[in-house]
Amino acid sequence: MSKLLYHGVNKTMDAKNQGEIRPKGSTSKVSPMRDGKIRRDGKFTREYSEANAARAQQIDGSPYDPRAISTSTSEAIAKRFATSGNTEDGFIYVIDADRLEAEGIQSFKFANPEHPHEQEVTLVLQSHSCIPSALIVKKYEVKSDW
């Protein structure tokens, strides 16, 4: 059985991305900035790296522009993101984690993540503009209770 990751997205974002899982940013390697968001706690390294891109995605990707996707090992967490906290309908994408490396996508599951309860695995895309469709096991709709 393959290892699976879950990515939740609301219907508005899914339509904007034309049914693809796309990162918001365009940079697969970043270095820390002195922007007040990065703490000197050993999570970031000084050089440009994919691991820093993954860390930036977990904290606040906007100033860093990482080419990264947040996923979770928890289907329930993905549903929370897909429904924007249970306020709208969305989709959950199920991703085959065993095939990521073969597609040139790095995955990062940190021992000390920014939000441990999210069980996040951050995917950093090297050359892809989106998660390749061959990695998507299925996509299904989830409804909010609202």
Structure tokens given for 36: 């007040």
Q: Quick one: pLDDT at residue 49?
A: 75
Sequence spans of domains, the chain: 4-31+45-142
Q: Quick one: pLDDT at residue 56?
A: 72
**Residue pLDDT tens, the chain, 146 long:** 569 999 999 999 999 999 999 998 877 777 777 666 665 566 666 778 777 777 777 776 667 778 889 999 999 999 999 999 989 999 999 999 999 999 999 998 988 777 888 898 989 998 889 999 999 999 999 999 87
Structure tokens given for 11: 């219907």
Q: Quick one: pLDDT at residue 145?
A: 83
Q: Is the distance from CB of 146 to CB of 88 less than 8 angstroms? A: yes
The domain 4-31+45-142 having CATH identifier 3.60.90.10: the answer here is no
Distance between CA atoms of residues 57 and 124, nearest Å: 9
Q: Go through 27-60 and write b for each residue having 16 or more CB atoms within 10 A of its CB, e for each that does not.
A: bbebebeeeeebeeeebbeeeebbbbbbbbbbbe
Q: Quick one: pLDDT at residue 14?
A: 97
Q: pTM of whole model > 0.75?
A: yes
